[in-house]
Amino acid sequence: MCDELVEVWEDLKCAICHSSSDFYEKIKHVPAAGITDLDTRTQYTIWKYYNRSKYRGTPFGNFAGFAVAGLGEVKENVIFSKEQHLHRFKDWSRYKSVELHEKELNASDRLYFSNSSHYTVADHIRFISMGDQVFELSEIVYSRFIQELLVLCAEIASYSSILEFAGTKAVTEEVLLSILKAMVDAQLLFTELNANIIGPDYFGRIQKEPHQNEQGDYLIAERKMISGKLSKAVLKHLPSCINTLLSLNLSKANEELKRFSKDFQRRYEGQEVPLLKILDPELGLGYGQFTSAAKEYDLAQELSSHSVKRSPVMLPWIGLSNELLNAILKDKPAVLQLKDLMKTKLDEADLKPANSFSILARFAGDLLVLDNVGGCTANALSGRFTLASETLTKHCKSIAAAESKANPEVIFFDIAYMAEGRVDNINRRKQIYEHELPILNYSCSEQLIALQDILVTVKREEVILFSKKYGKRLIPRLASAYNYTRSDLSVYRFLCDLQHQGIQSQLLFDVQELLPGLDYYPRIQYENLVLSTAKWRIKGVEMKGKDMLGILDQLGVSRYFSVGEGDQTLCFDRTKFEDLSFLKHYANQYNDFVVNEYIVSDSQLFIDDNKKFYFTQILLAIGHEEQLYPGYISSAAADESQIETIIMPGKDWLSYEIYCHPDRCEFLLSTLISAFIAEHAAAFKTWFFIRYNDPGPHLRLRFQLKDRQTGYFYMTRLMELLAADLQEGLIKDVQIKTYYREVARYGVEQMVLTEHHFRKDSEYALEVIAHHLDCFSIYANCIELMKAALGLLSLEKKAELTFIKGIQRAFEKEHELTSDDFKMVNREWTNFKRLVQSNDSTLALHLQGLQQSFLDTLRATAADQRPALFCSLFHMHINRLFSEQQRAHELIIYSFLYKQLQMQQQRLLVV
């Protein structure tokens, strides 16, 4: 901490040698006394290396190392060795793709492993490959033998087992070897000679001799712990601070994932689709791509328009930013306490943090400066050090085990990815999670997840991954600090983005985002925890030709301060002439930049065995045991051969899409379609309709024929009825479509029963339309049906409330309700309640048959699946009852249902 450059020059040159051999050649013979004789640019580069090694604790080469310490009760110094132990590994840039000669293919111990990104499209096999450092989608002509060979090698197969398999297919060894050669060259197959990025060090695994030290080796520096533990006393305010930060709901929704979820729902409606096909832009949706009508004002229309006209607003931020701005303008304070800025009590956090996450922090006397709080797993920042420490490996594995224990119904898996040569050093790690998904690399794991094994579905806007092999829901994790946004591989980006779903992965706020453009920001603390250091905006133009120290004095900048972010951070001591000189050099590059307070204390916890103090950064792993990820029961487990799931035109179903204005849909349903059904009902096993808005407002009308031979007659008859409207332009288009049964949502065994229920539901909807029932009457009938059906969910009264409230909150979040919106809903509830009480006997149509159908359909479903089916059936029920803003009406109905249930339970308590 106190060492001057001249004192550590030789050690610094050694560190530079490993980091930049070209620059080292330029300065290797320069003595400490000769540094000032060098040109300004070279001096500045040396100073930046020195600055990095002095102030920044993030391990890099031998500029900074790591040590593993525990937590203790007593406040004491943590003492480690001055000498670093350098763990040396061959740099990943030395990895070259393996090219096997034919004579190497049939080695007795050769192991083969298939590229799990393969899938079949028509008469081709598609797969992801890499050429010239670019990922691409490749394909070969389909071959049944190659397909079966890929399946055989999914679990790693020896050459002898492959040869035996080929014999059963009458394929000679000569032909087999040529096939293997072609598949290895095309990257459809890998061997154990290919690289693994996770697990035992690849170079050590394939080389018989020990690694010889080389220039440019990948280094991880470690210091030996001698004595001492971190005192828990300094951390005592962390739990309450984290809860407060969580209540601010800082995490922002990933827009690409949000779009994917919506697009999936539009196109696949709860189906389970293979991951690789859904991300193929030709077959599915791709990832990172983005693909609604108006009437007189009503509450449902107002609420449904929010998602279009409003950007997401985080309400707590408004109050916090106002209080912060007022405090700054009032008297320019040096330090603000977050508690003082939060005048109102915040609601409980919408989202929980991950089961494990990291805190990067620095000690400064009794203060703890928080540099970063969050992440999807605490293993992300510590994973790379497992190569060098068995102790840390055990620690990371214990974190992974704790995550799994808290979520026993899912499988966490690590993603093995490499694409950038030297940059991939940060991706190298020991195996931490039991399960691993390798992308274009070999794997030493015994529990593999294959890309082609994964199914994707969306339930209530949540993207869910499911493994056919393991029969469980999958949760991706990346135990690496690699910045995955550098990648252009969509499946990798998708899986990494999915880590953040449903959790708050960023807890600290950026005060400059909160109040952009200010010239000064005070320090913000939570008790002794520094959440944001003080900041001053400096205009570089104003510094030219002026006294640097005078400008800093005028602004009130602290003695120690920093500029830049991340790897580009530089720290300055304003009492040192050299630092001020290089600050001016830095300022010349910018018109405007921000100076950050860098808090330093003479009292440092961390010292070496020579009693020298260090600027040290700590990495804390924080965790909780609350279950975040429920399991998922896949319809893929059912035997879909029991039922035809894709029914093309010409079979026993006629499926129409009729495109027209929502008002015209009402007219068609109440006149032409209603008359058509009444006339020909005896010819149909069942029928139903659904409303859709994508790609434009339309009606989906489906009939199941008793005799498929009559299909052409009924198709012609309906088209004759619609012809006039089509000619007039009242109907924009009529299409006959393939019917994709929603077995993923309703189950194979219940699909036929559900379709018959849909008939009764559609008949009731026609009755509602014919009687011109008003909204409140429809709401009342729907709520009565819901209350009757709730009894089959086997929930206690309190659990019923929780269940309905959860659905209601999801809709409120979707529609981004404001306080004014809630007031409107409450006013409508008051009006609705009065109407129900005064006009109860005349509201209902004949609901008995429909209610019985709801109950029969729910009873036929396994008890644990009834809540999801309840939501699906009533979602479709409400869809049929309203021509527009169906989801907003659904929000209102669930809100009114919750209030009714709440009132009923309160009456019971009073009695």
**Strand ordering across the sheet containing 560-563:** 520-521, 535-539, 592-597, 560-563, 570-573
At residue 782, the pLDDT reads 94
- Give CA–CA dist 343/333, Å, rounded: 18
Instruction: Check residues 695 and 636 and name the one with the higher pLDDT.
Output: 695
At residue 207, the pLDDT reads 80
- Give CA–CA dist 114/151, Å, rounded: 8
- CATH class, domain 96-194, is alpha beta
CA contacts within 13 A on the Cβ side of 620: 23
* Cβ atoms of residues 798 and 726 within 8 Å: no
At residue 316, the pLDDT reads 46
Does residue 298 surpass a pLDDT of 80?
no
DSSP 770-830: HTT--HHHHHHHHHHHHHHHHGGG---HHHHHHHHHHHHHHHHHHTT--HHHHHHHHHHHH
CA distances from residue 313 to 6, 253, 316, 421, 851 in whole angstroms, order as listed: 53, 11, 9, 41, 40
Q: What integer is the mean pLDDT of 389-407?
A: 96
At residue 911, the pLDDT reads 42
Does residue 566 surpass a pLDDT of 90?
no
Compute, in degrees rounded to 10, the torsion defined by CA atoms 272, 274, 276, 278: -30
Does residue 312 surpass a pLDDT of 80?
no
**How much of the chain exceeds pLDDT 90, in percent?**
56
**How much of the chain exceeds pLDDT 70, in percent?**
92
- Give CA–CA dist 894/900, Å, rounded: 10
Does residue 790 surpass a pLDDT of 50?
yes
At residue 813, the pLDDT reads 84
Instruction: Check residues 59 and 412 and name the one with the higher pLDDT.
Output: 412
At residue 747, the pLDDT reads 78
Does residue 331 surpass a pLDDT of 90?
no
All structural domains of the chain with their residue ranges: 1-49, 50-91+511-623, 96-194, 638-741, 749-911
- Give CA–CA dist 683/174, Å, rounded: 62
* Whole-number average pLDDT of the chain: 87
CATH of 638-741 given 3.30.420.40, 3.30.70.100, 3.60.20.10, 1.10.3720.10: 3.30.70.100
* Cβ atoms of residues 112 and 159 within 8 Å: yes
Q: How many CB atoms neighbour CB 291 within 10 A?
A: 10
Match 């109905």 to its residue by tokens.
Answer: 893
pTM: 0.78
Does residue 470 surpass a pLDDT of 50?
yes
Does residue 640 surpass a pLDDT of 70?
no
- Give CA–CA dist 386/280, Å, rounded: 35
At residue 128, the pLDDT reads 93
